Amino acid sequence: MFKKIQLLLASLALLVARNAEAFEIFGNQQRFSGSPQTFRSLVLIIVDLVNIAIPILVSLAVIGFIWGITQYGFNQDSEETKKTARKIMVWGIIIIFVMVSIYGILNILTNTFFR
């Protein structure tokens, strides 16, 4: 069990480090200082915060998907565990699709109306 937790934490650290460019917006302190003065600045703050959260959530969904694959592969004799692993894999794929779609739609709308 301890090895599985170590593997899970190492995978999470690798995925978050890989998506570290999402945290570059904190270098621009103008957006995050004080309260927003216009609707545009409020929307851009919200978009930036969502852009930080999406890579983290996608990383967690990928880890969940990989967890489902390992559960499915290692527990070939238990039909109940295989069914649960299949559910985890399906939900992982759905969450990845939804997060990437939100990211794309949000960037299209932001680039069209606010930048």
Q: Give me the residue spans of the domains in the chain.
A: 2-113
pLDDT, residue 2, reads 60
For the chain, the average pLDDT equals 80
Residue-wise pLDDT for 47-73, tens only, equals: 888 888 898 999 999 999 999 999 998
Task: Select the more confidently predicted residue: 108 or 16.
Answer: 108
CB atoms within 10 A of CB 92: 20
Nearest 5°: CA angle at 65, between 64 and 71? 85
Look-up: residue for tokens 């069209």?
112
Q: How far apart are CA 96 and CA 57, in angstroms?
A: 8
Contact 25, 51 (CB under 8 A): yes
Task: Select the more confidently predicted residue: 20 or 50.
Answer: 50
